[in-house]
C-alpha cells in the first residue's frame, strides 16, 4: 500500500526532526541546486528513475490488470500539500501509482496504437533538452536551436518536394521563409495548414484588409462567396472537425467524401463535390488527401487529388501524419506519389519517425505562405528577426527539434527505410496469418502497416465463408469483438485496439467493429504477432463458454 501525503509528511518530519514552518528556503534552494554540487538530489532521483525506466521498458506485458476504479482512488486529492513532500516518499508513490500502472506503449506486444519502442538516444536527449530549457518562440531564448530546427525541417521538406540546391540555399536559413513549422502534434499541424490556406485565399485586396483582420463573414462577403468548405475523405482525422469548428466554418462545411473498400477516397465523388461547391458558390479552402488513415492506414490517390486541386486552383493539403515516412522507402514511396504536389503536408515525428510524443510538423510548398498567419509583438517576435514564433499557432514551446535533428542524423535515410519496410513486411506477415486462421476475418488489404480484422465465433464461420452473414449476425460478432478487445486490454498480456468500419451488407450500411493492429515497433517479432493472435484466441474461447452462448 502506498502512503497518504500526510503520512509522508509525518515521516519526513520524524526523520528529519525539522519543524514544519521554517527552513522552506533551504528545502527549495536544495531543489534548485546545480548538479555539480556533490551528492545532489538530482543524482539520487536519477538513480531511482533509471531503475523505474529499466523495469518499465523491459516489461513484456502491456499493462497491469488494475481497475480504473481503483486508480481513481489513488488520485482523488484536490489539495496541494502545504509543505513540500519528502522526495523519496513522493518518488516511491510515483513509482507505485503512476509508473507501475502506465501503459507499456513500447512493448513488442502492444501493437494497437501508433506508438513504438523508441531509439535509446531519445531518453538522454530528453534530459539534455530539459536541462537546456530553450524556448524556441524567439532567438533570444533559443539561439543555435532556432537554426537547428530550420535545418531539420528543411531536410524533410526536401525529402517531400525535392526542389533544387539553389532553392534550399535560398530558403533554409532565410528569416522571410518558412519551409515548415514544428508544432506539438498532427492536430495543430492540420489546423495550421488550413489556417494558412484560409488566410492566403481570403487575403487583403483593394481596400479589404483580409480575413485575418476583418473576419470570415466580411471576407466571404468581399470575395462574393456564399460560404466556405473543406473537402476530403470520410476517413479524415477528427482534427479536421476541430479545424472546421475553430475556424468558424462549422463541421457541416467539412465535406466528407465516401471512401472505397480499400479506405481510399472515391475520386469521382471528390471531383463531383468540387463541381457542386463551385456551382453553389462555396469557397473551397482546401482539399485534403489522407496518407495513412488513422483507422486502417489507407492512402488516398494523392496524385489524382492533386490533379483535381490544381484544376480547381485550390489548396491541396496532405495529412501524412502517419504515412509520411513511407517516403523514406524505395519500395513503398510510390504509394505517396503526388505528395510533392501538395501545398502543405502534415507529418508527425512521434509516429513513424520514432521520436517522443509532442512533435508535429507542417511543411509548406510556398516558403512565403506562412506570412498569411504572421503576428508580431513588441516584446518579442520582431519583424525581420529569426524568431520562429512569428509564424505559428503556438507561442512558447520546447526544443523538440533536438529529437528530430538527432533522428534524421542518427538513423539516416537508410535507417528510416529499414524501419518502414520492416513494419510493412511484418504487417503482411500478420495479414497472411489471419487469412490462414479460421478464427479471424481480414477486413481490408493493408495499404501500409495498419491492419483491421475481426474474430469470428465458431458458430458463424461457415456463414462468413459463404458471405451469408445477416445484420443480426454482424451485431453479434460486433458485441463479441468489443468484449474480446476489452478483456484483452484488461488482462494486459497483449494489446490490439478497436475501431468501427462501415460496410455494406444486403444494400444496407452497417457498422462493423474491427480489431486494429498497428505494426511499427522494430522490437515486435513474428513470434510476438503470433502471441497476440493466440492471446485473442484463448480469450475468445473463454468468452464463448461463459458469455457468448447467452447472447446467441
Of 134, 57, 44, 53, the residue nearest 90 (C-alpha): 44
Residue 397 binds a copy of itself (CB under 8 A):
yes
CA distance 231 to 254: 6
DSSP state of 208: B
Shortest spacing between CB 464 and a copy of itself, in angstroms:
22
Nearer to a copy of itself, 371 or 499 (CB): 499
Residue 206 binds a copy of itself (CB under 8 A):
no
Nearer to a copy of itself, 161 or 455 (CB): 161
Contact 360, 352 (CB under 8 A): no
Q: Would you call 232 helix, strand, or coil by DSSP?
A: strand
Contact 443, 464 (CB under 8 A): no
Partnered with residue 251 across adjacent β-strands are none
Between the CA of residue 423 and those of 111, 325, 333, 517, what are the distances in Å? 11, 12, 14, 11
Single residue of 107, 109, 155, 332 touching a copy of itself by CB under 8 A: 155
Shortest spacing between CB 549 and a copy of itself, in angstroms:
27
Nearer to a copy of itself, 307 or 394 (CB): 394
Contact 105, 99 (CB under 8 A): no
Q: Where does this chain touch a copy of itself (CB under 8 A) — which range of 158-166, 270-278, 428-436, 459-467?
A: 158-166
CA distance 387 to 175: 8
Q: Which of residues 369-388 bind a copy of itself (CB under 8 A)?
A: 373, 375-381, 386
Q: Which of residues 51-110 bind a copy of itself (CB under 8 A)?
A: 52-54, 56-58, 63, 66, 68, 71-72, 74-85, 87, 90, 94, 97-103, 105-106
CA distance 2 to 202: 58
Shortest spacing between CB 410 and a copy of itself, in angstroms:
6
CA distance 347 to 384: 28
Residue 45 binds a copy of itself (CB under 8 A):
yes
Site pattern 408..437 for a copy of itself (x: CB under 8 A): xxxxxxxx-xxx------------------
Residue 479 binds a copy of itself (CB under 8 A):
no
Of 529, 411, 423, 343, the residue nearest 152 (C-alpha): 411
DSSP state of 514: E
* Beta strand 227-233 pairing with 254-257: parallel
Shortest spacing between CB 221 and a copy of itself, in angstroms:
9
Residue 40 binds a copy of itself (CB under 8 A):
yes
159, burial (CB in 10 Å: exposed 0-12, middle 13-18, buried 19+): buried
Shortest spacing between CB 197 and a copy of itself, in angstroms:
13
Nearer to a copy of itself, 211 or 430 (CB): 211
For 249-278, give the DSSP string.
Answer: S-GGGEEEEPB-TTS-B-HHHHHHHHHHHH
Shortest spacing between CB 46 and a copy of itself, in angstroms:
4
Nearer to a copy of itself, 70 or 368 (CB): 70
Contact 284, 226 (CB under 8 A): no
Shortest spacing between CB 430 and a copy of itself, in angstroms:
18
Which residue shows C-alpha cell 462577403?
Answer: 221
Single residue of 176, 275, 435, 523 touching a copy of itself by CB under 8 A: 523
Shortest spacing between CB 318 and a copy of itself, in angstroms:
17
Single residue of 197, 259, 406, 430 touching a copy of itself by CB under 8 A: 406
Site pattern 12..31 for a copy of itself (x: CB under 8 A): ---------x--xx-xxx-x
The Cβ of residue 42 has, within 10 Å, a number of other Cβ atoms equal to 14
Single residue of 107, 109, 160, 168 touching a copy of itself by CB under 8 A: 168
Q: Which of residues 261-300 bind a copy of itself (CB under 8 A)?
A: 294-295
3-state secondary structure 369-409: HHHHHCCCECCECCCCCCCHHHHCCCCCCCCCHHHHHHHHH
Which residue shows C-alpha cell 490533379?
Answer: 307
Q: Where does this chain touch a copy of itself (CB under 8 A) — which range of 234-242, 265-273, 466-474, 537-545?
A: 234-242
Q: Where does this chain touch a copy of itself (CB under 8 A) — which range of 114-122, 278-286, 361-369, 434-442?
A: 114-122
Nearer to a copy of itself, 184 or 505 (CB): 184
CA distance 406 to 167: 24
Residue 42 binds a copy of itself (CB under 8 A):
yes
Single residue of 107, 177, 178, 187 touching a copy of itself by CB under 8 A: 187
Residue 396 binds a copy of itself (CB under 8 A):
yes
Amino acid at each position: 500500500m502506498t502512503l497518504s501525503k500526510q503520512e509522508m509528511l509525518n515521516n519526513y518530519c520524524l526523520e528529519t526532526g525539522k519543524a514544519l514552518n521554517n527552513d522552506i528556503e533551504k528545502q527549495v534552494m536544495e531543489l534548485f541546486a546545480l548538479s555539480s554540487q556533490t551528492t545532489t538530489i538530482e543524482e539520487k532521483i536519477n538513480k531511482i528513475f533509471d531503475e523505474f525506466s529499466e523495469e518499465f521498458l523491459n516489461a513484456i506485458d502491456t499493462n497491469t490488470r488494475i481497475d480504473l476504479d481503483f486508480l481513481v482512488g489513488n488520485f482523488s486529492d484536490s489539495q496541494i500539500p502545504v509543505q513540500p513532500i519528502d522526495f523519496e516518499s513522493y518518488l516511491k508513490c510515483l513509482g507505485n501509482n503512476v509508473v507501475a500502472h502506465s501503459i507499456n506503449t513500447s512493448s513488442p506486444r502492444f501493437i494497437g496504437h501508433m506508438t513504438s519502442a523508441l531509439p535509446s538516444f531519445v531518453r538522454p536527449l530528453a534530459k539534455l533538452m530539459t536541462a537546456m530549457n530553450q524556448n524556441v518562440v524567439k532567438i533570444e531564448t533559443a539561439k543555435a536551436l532556432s537554426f537547428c530546427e530550420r535545418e531539420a525541417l528543411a531536410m524533410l521538406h526536401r525529402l517531400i518536394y525535392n526542389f533544387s540546391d539553389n532553392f534550399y540555399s535560398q530558403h533554409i536559413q532565410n528569416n522571410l521563409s518558412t519551409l515548415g513549422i514544428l508544432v506539438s502534434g498532427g492536430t495543430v499541424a492540420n489546423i495550421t495548414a488550413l489556417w494558412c490556406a484560409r488566410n492566403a485565399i481570403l487575403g487583403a485586396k483593394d481596400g479589404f484588409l483580409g480575413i485575418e483582420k476583418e473576419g470570415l463573414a466580411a471576407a466571404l462577403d468581399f470575395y462574393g462567396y456564399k460560404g466556405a468548405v473543406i473537402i476530403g475523405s470520410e476517413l479524415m482525422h477528427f482534427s479536421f472537425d476541430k479545424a472546421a469548428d475553430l475556424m468558424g466554418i462549422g463541421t457541416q462545411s467539412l465535406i466528407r467524401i465516401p471512401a472505397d473498400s480499400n479506405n481510399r477516397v472515391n475520386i469521382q465523388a471528390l471531383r463531383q463535390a468540387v463541381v457542386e461547391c463551385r456551382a453553389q458558390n462555396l469557397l473551397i479552402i482546401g482539399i485534403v488527401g489522407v496518407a495513412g488513415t488513422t483507422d486502417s492506414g489507407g492512402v488516398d490517390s494523392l496524385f489524382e487529388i492533386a490533379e483535381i486541386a490544381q484544376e480547381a486552383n485550390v489548396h491541396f493539403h496532405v495529412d501524412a501524419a502517419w504515412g509520411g515516412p513511407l517516403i523514406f522507402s524505395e519500395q513503398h514511396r510510390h504509394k505517396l506519389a503526388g505528395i510533392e504536389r501538395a501545398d502543405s503536408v502534415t507529418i508527425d515525428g512521434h509516429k513513424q519517425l520514432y521520436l517522443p510524443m509532442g512533435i508535429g510538423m507542417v511543411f509548406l510548398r510556398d516558403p512565403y505562405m506562412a506570412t498569411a498567419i504572421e503576428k508580431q509583438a513588441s516584446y518579442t517576435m520582431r519583424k525581420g528577426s529569426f524568431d520562429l514564433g512569428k509564424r505559428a499557432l503556438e507561442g512558447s514551446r520546447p526544443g523538440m527539434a533536438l529529437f528530430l535533428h538527432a533522428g534524421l542524423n542518427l538513423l539516416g535515410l537508410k535507417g528510416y527505410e529499414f524501419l518502414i519496410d520492416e513494419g510493412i513486411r511484418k504487417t503482411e506477415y500478420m495479414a497472411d496469418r489471419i487469412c490462414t486462421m479460421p478464427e479471424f476475418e481480414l477486413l481490408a488489404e493493408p495499404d501500409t502497416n495498419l491492419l483491421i480484422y475481426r474474430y469470428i465465433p465458431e458458430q458463424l464461420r461457415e456463414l462468413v465463408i459463404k458471405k451469408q452473414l445477416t445484420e443480426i449476425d454482424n451485431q453479434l460478432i460486433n458485441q463479441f469483438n468489443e468484449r474480446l478487445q476489452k478483456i484483452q486490454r484488461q488482462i494486459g498480456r497483449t494489446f490490439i485496439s478497436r475501431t468501427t468500419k462501415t460496410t455494406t451488407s444486403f444494400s444496407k450500411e452497417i457498422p462493423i467493429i474491427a480489431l486494429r493492429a498497428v505494426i511499427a515497433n522494430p522490437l515486435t517479432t513474428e513470434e510476438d504477432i503470433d502471441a497476440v493472435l493466440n492471446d485473442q484466441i484463448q480469450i475468445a474461447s473463454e468468452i464463448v463458454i461463459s458469455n457468448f452462448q447467452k447472447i446467441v
